[in-house]
């Protein structure tokens, strides 16, 4: 198992994606095939597994706070996939303001690029994970992007709990905080802009 983790970590490093250990372990957990807790996230995943994977990878790729994740919408106008699935543009409900926004100064939509490996979406691609989640929840009556298995909009606290669950499952004994993912997201954004040697 350690060998699989090291290979997964090496693959992510080769893509220019380097995470802190907690997030590396969570990424490995999301990518593994077969485990005692979650049989697989790649083959016949449950609704909760799809939600966790899409939520974690979206949080990691976007750096959004839980309040922003809660206020994303599934309307194509505000969650828009590129025709070639090379990216997704994410915008919160128009009535939602983040803590650093005003009515006259809104943030631009977040453009999340796909992650590719050998010409195909990487198993940990946030765009592919989000698309799979949306396809599996087409019958959701709500406008919210992330909903519970019962079809209710997730609270910020529940989103935070799900993010911590992914990290805790991957790295038991840690005291993860959902906010830690934002730090890793900042590193990702920096590395997408600057190549580090």
Q: Could you say which residues of the chain have pLDDT below 70? A: 1-44, 96-107, 174-197
pLDDT of residue 170: 73
pLDDT of residue 152: 86
pLDDT of residue 184: 52
What CATH number has the domain spanning 2-99+107-193?
1.10.443
Q: What is the pTM of this model?
A: 0.69
pLDDT of residue 173: 72
And the tokens for 80? 């828009």
Q: In the chain, where are the structural domains located?
A: 2-99+107-193
CA distances from residue 158 to 61, 97, 102, 155, 191 in whole angstroms, order as listed:
19, 20, 26, 5, 30
pLDDT of residue 53: 92
Helix or strand (DSSP H, E) at 88: strand 87-90
pLDDT of residue 196: 33
């Amino acid at each position: 198992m350690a060998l699989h983790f090291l290979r997964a970590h090496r693959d992510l490093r080769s893509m220019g994606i380097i995470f802190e250990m907690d997030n590396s372990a969570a990424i490995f957990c999301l990518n593994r095939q077969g485990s005692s807790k979650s049989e697989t996230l790649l083959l016949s995943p449950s609704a909760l597994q799809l939600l966790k994977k899409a939520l974690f990878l979206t949080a990691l790729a976007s750096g959004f706070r839980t309040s922003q994740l809660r206020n994303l919408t599934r309307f194509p106008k505000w969650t828009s996939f590129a025709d070639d699935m090379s990216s997704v543009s994410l915008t919160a409900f128009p009535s939602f303001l983040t803590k650093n926004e005003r009515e006259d100064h809104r943030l631009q939509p977040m453009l999340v690029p796909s992650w590719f490996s050998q010409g195909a979406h990487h198993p940990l691609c946030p765009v592919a994970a989000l698309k799979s989640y949306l396809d599996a929840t087409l019958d959701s009556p709500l406008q919210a992007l992330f909903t519970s298995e019962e079809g209710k909009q997730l609270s910020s606290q529940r989103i935070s709990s799900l993010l911590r669950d992914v990290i805790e499952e991957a790295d038991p004994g840690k005291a993860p905080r959902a906010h830690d993912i934002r730090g890793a997201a900042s590193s990702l954004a920096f590395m997408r802009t600057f190549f580090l040697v």
